[in-house]
Homo-oligomer: A and B are copies of this chain.
Amino acid sequence: MKWSEVGTQACSVARALGVIGDRWSPLLVREAFGGATRFEEFLDGVGASRAIVTDRLAKLVEGGVFERKSYQDNPPRHTYTLTDKGRDLLPVLLTLQAWGDRWLDDGKGPPFSIVHDTCGHATEARLYCTHCNEPLGSDISGHPRPGSWARDRKRTKRRLRPRRD
C-alpha cells in the first residue's frame, strides 16, 4: 500500500495521519496555537526550510486545517489561521506534549507547563471517560462498525490492550 492510499482506510487514526501524519505538520499547528499567522513566523518557529514550510502549509490548507487569506497584494502576502477543524487538533498536541514530557525530558523536567486559565492551576492532558468521568486507561476496547478497516479484516472486536509476553 502506498502512503497516499492510507488516508482512505476506514480507520480514523489512519485518516487523521493522512492529514497531519507528517513530521513537520504538527509543528506548524503548534506554532499557530502559539499565535503564528504569517509565513515568516511559521518559518522562524518550526525551523524547516522555506520549501518544506510552503509545501506543508499548502497541504494543511488543502486538508482544511488552515485557512489562507490575502493581507497584501504587492508583493502578495497571506495569513494562515486555524479553522475549527484545525483548532480541534489541540487535544492531539496536548497528548503528544504530555507523552514527551513524561518520557523525553532528559531528566530536566518538562520544558513547558500548561495552565488551565479558567481555574488558574497547572494542568496536564489526561483523558477521562465521557460517561463515568473516571480516567481512561487500558480498560477500553474497540468495536469496529460496518465498513471499518478492522472489520474488513474479519475481526469484530479489537482489543485495545497490547499483548504482553
Q: Are A139 and B116 in contact (CB under 8 A)?
A: yes
CB-nearest residue of chain B to A125: B127
Known A-B contacts A88-B103, A132-B116, A136-B125; A111 and B23 likewise in contact (beta carbons under 8 Å): no
Q: Are B162 and A81 in contact (CB under 8 A)?
A: yes
Q: Are B142 and A113 in contact (CB under 8 A)?
A: yes
Q: Are A98 and B12 in contact (CB under 8 A)?
A: yes
CB-nearest residue of chain B to A37: B163
Number of identical monomers bound together in the oligomeric complex = 2
Interface SS majority for chain A: mixed
Known A-B contacts A6-B47, A13-B30, A126-B130; A115 and B143 likewise in contact (beta carbons under 8 Å): yes
Decide if A72 is an interface residue (CB 8 Å cutoff). no
Q: How many residues on chain A are close to B (CB under 8 Å)?
A: 110
Decide if A75 is an interface residue (CB 8 Å cutoff). no
Q: In the complex, what distance in Å separates the CA atom of A137 from the CA atom of B99?
A: 19
CB-nearest residue of chain B to A82: B162
For A22, the chain B residues whose CB sits under 8 A away are: 21, 23
Q: In the complex, what distance in Å separates the CA atom of A155 from the CA atom of B37?
A: 16
Q: Which of B17, B99, B143, B165 contacts A16 (CB 8 A)?
A: B99
Q: Are B95 and A34 in contact (CB under 8 A)?
A: no
Q: Are B136 and A116 in contact (CB under 8 A)?
A: yes
